[in-house]
Structure 1
């Protein structure tokens, strides 16, 4: 019996991970696809006059099982993968791609949808119904419904190739991350590293059967502290190149050809659909609307950030020389000297802050803040199955103790998990026949693990990451829509980062830090002067980082705006694109594109600018919270109603204006970062 094909007889209908084996996935996907096709057949063979309910809603509700099985599978492929799952992914992805195309290129189905769409002005629909109708119609047109048969076949072929290439891209990056390790055998090479880093490296060495030495890897909790604290410059350089050359070495894991193939196929696909470029295609469904708007937005930010970024780098360079550092700073020096200068200027560094950020306390803080703002309560539960023993599960309740959501949290790195941090869901929210089906939401991170002598103590950056992902989780948990495809985080991509980025702001506020920033040994609250220093140092090297982010966004746009199709050399093209934002000498042999998973494996192609775009929204939104008080219930209710719960039910700008009373102002971000005096 295949558990993926049964109704889950579990608390809250959660996934029975203990019962699911790898061999269940392929048959379940095939069966789910067959049932999904039957749902479509019912719509196309119906003799009724097509209307909103029997066509648009029926399509929205169809193929439910495909969604639920594939969400289990692909979440595991990101968070707990192995060779077998990766092999399955190569089989399953083309099947899903084909299934999706079977629907989007079904002429009979499109004729019925178009019939309903053509009546849009003659029927009375709610704003949410209207959005669903327009989105459904456009998704068919944007995926080739109006193409001739031969072009539809071409589109199918492209989609199949793209789904396989992006999987392969991700596999290469994960393999490169897992395969590299640097063994240190001489204790003097550990100079500068805090005890927790040394202890974790000794544990890593022991796990590899190399007791008595220390092992450093490209996993963030190992790589970032090494680059920040290791005094040995040559070893920092070695780690930098190992990280920066991932999938760029001309070997079996090389992604250069894959990058060029993905870019070419995306462009070809866009042209086939009548768009000038992949970026034009993507941005039609974004707040930013067009590549020229994105370019203008990034250029405007760069105008403010670059001169200040150059000044910050000059100051860092002079400081490094003054303490015996190199004549010329290289990329592997920035984190190291930044940390030292920050300590010098603000008498603050991660090592001073970490004792106040024990993971369990930060989680508790996040829960308390969500409680104060949105009336939520979190109760840890042990009767829900998980895919790895590290995963914790909570029931989320409202003020009346009514069930809101199930929340999974997975915090530590392991070989089967990709780097970085993300929010995802195992079940979306929707309302069917008057029943509100509540979501199952998860956040996945790669934080510093507890050691034999210390609990998991987070760096300040890890604290903001946890708040960021939890902001996304709130968007999912508080969803209150009728249709799953418009619910929770199903919003325009450059709007989706608003809930996550705005939530980071609470990390800098005394009133919220007082709730959870307590010394892990003494229980003493974080001292006021440290809170003040966190605030003062918030914009340290901010312009330099902004220029870096703009550089990544321009790299993304450069690959996808149509001028990259004849590129033969990934490294040379990247260097050319980065000229305007490179504040440091290029590092020969390092390359960003070949491991830029956001744009070549994740969903951020032509969308990396969204982080900065959403920062404008979040700075503007948080100014409103500050005006009224950061725990002001009325402001929080406005944000919950018009942003968190509304999902993608209407155009994001309309929702934002309803919350804020006006359009967002870019000045808010420049004010917050100190770039606009």
Structure 2
């Protein structure tokens, strides 16, 4: 951490021609961005030219067809079923099993719409009878520019977000639980973000990207050199990034933890945590945590992103990385993980899927093994 902090500080001093300049909290993103740009030539407009939204949607189809032998097909909606003209409905169809579930795509920004990207479970799957199963229905909601429709270009961050939410969608669509309360993402919070984090890896792997990331003019696939540059840029300052995520998690758990009857000053609490758990000062007079949306709809749950990042990295390395698009990889993902929803003990589920090394016992419970994550980011 101190090595990365000092590297950023030295860079600022060179840029500002001030040998005594210290780092301020607002310097973190600014100078890290500058250093990444200077170290790796990645032109955002060039990257975006390989990710028209229409091609990215095809990329989702590549995933389900390669991994699970299924395909998405647009299906008509009944009267009053759609909430906006831009919404489309897709059936996830398997040639032997029939329809597996339905997904609404609501991808474009508009006034008054939920501002982020998210997966929403509309109806969970459940067993109705011996041969009759209630199919899951979900919505995948994003906020991409609506001005150019399917020709809109996505930056790579948006592609990663799309794949993240698609991981949640697959969890819902491919689970086959007896009861809907265990369907799909209705799992223990410790593992809820694992499928989404796993499918983020697919957004960074050249073997996957070359199947759909095509230049909108020439049709040429994205160059491997460009994908390597994207990955190299992402992997800079891993300790600083991890420290930030740990701080967010500690802040979340502190604010939603046990308190005395005395009112808590959240600004002071966050400031103290910032000073204690990061390398950066707290800016007095600010209250940025009031805009940290996870505190509102994911209270005491932010830690699960760190857990999931560890679980997903081990799964990627042990199960998927060797051949990420093979049918055998897909069968393992579906049959050993997604199918079970929340109906199987998470510790048993993870060990059966990725091996005993995926978790450790601690304090009467389980925690992720961090070795795979450390290896992945070079720590």
- The answer, yes or no, to whether TM exceeds 0.5 is yes
Answer yes or no: is 1:438 the counterpart of 2:138. Answer: no
Q: CA deviation at 1:530?
A: 0.5
1:671 aligns with one of 358, 375, 378: 375
- CA shift in 2, pair 1:332/1:361, >3 Å: farther
Q: CA deviation at 1:430?
A: 0.6
1:424 aligns with one of 99, 108, 120: 120
- Give secondary structure in 2 for the equivalent of 1:365: helix
Paired position in structure 2 for 1:317: 9
Give the structure-2-normalised TM-score: 0.89
The structure where strand makes up a greater share of residues is 2
Cα distance per residue 1:343-402 (max 9 Å; x no partner): 211112433311111111112112201211112201123435321223222111013371
Matched residues, number:
364
User: Could you tell me whether the CA contact under 8 Å between 1:558 and 1:564 is conserved in 2?
Assistant: no
Answer yes or no: is 1:571 the counterpart of 2:267. Answer: yes
Q: Aligned equivalents of 2:323 and 2:330: distance in 1?
A: 10
Cα distance per residue 1:194-251 (max 9 Å; x no partner): xxxxxxxxxxxxxxxxxxxxxxxxxxxxxxxxxxxxxxxxxxxxxxxxxxxxxxxxxx
Q: CA deviation at 1:547?
A: 1.0
- CA shift in 2, pair 1:314/1:359, >3 Å: farther
Paired position in structure 2 for 1:483: 179
Q: Aligned equivalents of 2:30 and 2:43: distance in 1?
A: 12
User: Could you tell me whether the CA contact under 8 Å between 2:50 and 2:215 is conserved in 1?
Assistant: yes
Paired position in structure 2 for 1:293: none
More deviation in 343-352 or 643-652?
Answer: 343-352
Paired position in structure 1 for 2:257: 561
- Give secondary structure in 2 for the equivalent of 1:411: strand
Paired position in structure 2 for 1:508: 204
Paired position in structure 2 for 1:470: 166
The unaligned stretches of length 5 or more in structure 2 are: 359-368
Q: CA deviation at 1:658?
A: 1.5
Paired position in structure 2 for 1:355: 49
Q: CA deviation at 1:545?
A: 1.8
Cα distance per residue 1:120-160 (max 9 Å; x no partner): xxxxxxxxxxxxxxxxxxxxxxxxxxxxxxxxxxxxxxxxx
Q: Aligned equivalents of 1:628 and 1:427: distance in 2?
A: 35
2:59 aligns with one of 358, 361, 365: 365
Residues 153-302 of structure 1 correspond to what in structure 2 (within 5 A)?
none
Q: CA deviation at 1:329?
A: 4.3
Cα distance per residue 1:535-554 (max 9 Å; x no partner): 32231233222111111100
- Give secondary structure in 1 for the equivalent of 2:138: strand
Q: Aligned equivalents of 2:304 and 2:63: distance in 1?
A: 26
- Give secondary structure in 2 for the equivalent of 1:494: helix
Q: CA deviation at 1:611?
A: 0.3
Q: Aligned equivalents of 2:168 and 2:282: distance in 1?
A: 35
Q: Aligned equivalents of 2:11 and 2:163: distance in 1?
A: 32
2:84 aligns with one of 375, 381, 388: 388
Q: Aligned equivalents of 2:16 and 2:245: distance in 1?
A: 30
Q: Aligned equivalents of 1:447 and 1:325: distance in 2?
A: 40
Cα distance per residue 1:471-490 (max 9 Å; x no partner): 00000000111100111111
The unaligned stretches of length 5 or more in structure 1 are: 1-306
User: Could you tell me whether the CA contact under 8 Å between 1:420 and 1:446 is conserved in 2?
Assistant: yes
Q: Aligned equivalents of 1:582 and 1:612: distance in 2?
A: 16
Q: Aligned equivalents of 2:260 and 2:6: distance in 1?
A: 34
- CA shift in 2, pair 1:460/1:627, >3 Å: closer
Q: Aligned equivalents of 1:343 and 1:636: distance in 2?
A: 36
Residues 14-53 of structure 1 correspond to what in structure 2 (within 5 A)?
none
Q: CA deviation at 1:451?
A: 4.9
The structure where helix makes up a greater share of residues is 1
- Give secondary structure in 2 for the equivalent of 1:379: strand
Answer yes or no: is 1:335 the counterpart of 2:335. Answer: no
Cα distance per residue 1:456-505 (max 9 Å; x no partner): 21121111110000000000000111100111111101111111100111
Q: CA deviation at 1:627?
A: 5.6
Cα distance per residue 1:92-125 (max 9 Å; x no partner): xxxxxxxxxxxxxxxxxxxxxxxxxxxxxxxxxx
User: Could you tell me whether the CA contact under 8 Å between 2:255 and 2:266 is conserved in 1?
Assistant: no
User: Could you tell me whether the CA contact under 8 Å between 1:368 and 1:515 is conserved in 2?
Assistant: yes
- Give secondary structure in 2 for the equivalent of 1:323: helix
- CA shift in 2, pair 1:311/1:455, >3 Å: farther
User: Could you tell me whether the CA contact under 8 Å between 2:93 and 2:100 is conserved in 1?
Assistant: yes
Q: Aligned equivalents of 2:179 and 2:17: distance in 1?
A: 58
Q: Aligned equivalents of 1:312 and 1:447: distance in 2?
A: 34
Give the structure-1-normalised TM-score: 0.51
Answer yes or no: is 1:456 the counterpart of 2:148. Answer: no
User: Could you tell me whether the CA contact under 8 Å between 2:275 and 2:282 is conserved in 1?
Assistant: no
- Give secondary structure in 1 for the equivalent of 2:58: helix
User: Could you tell me whether the CA contact under 8 Å between 2:51 and 2:153 is conserved in 1?
Assistant: yes
- Give secondary structure in 1 for the equivalent of 2:89: strand
User: Could you tell me whether the CA contact under 8 Å between 1:625 and 1:632 is conserved in 2?
Assistant: no
Q: Aligned equivalents of 1:500 and 1:528: distance in 2?
A: 24
- Give secondary structure in 2 for the equivalent of 1:645: helix
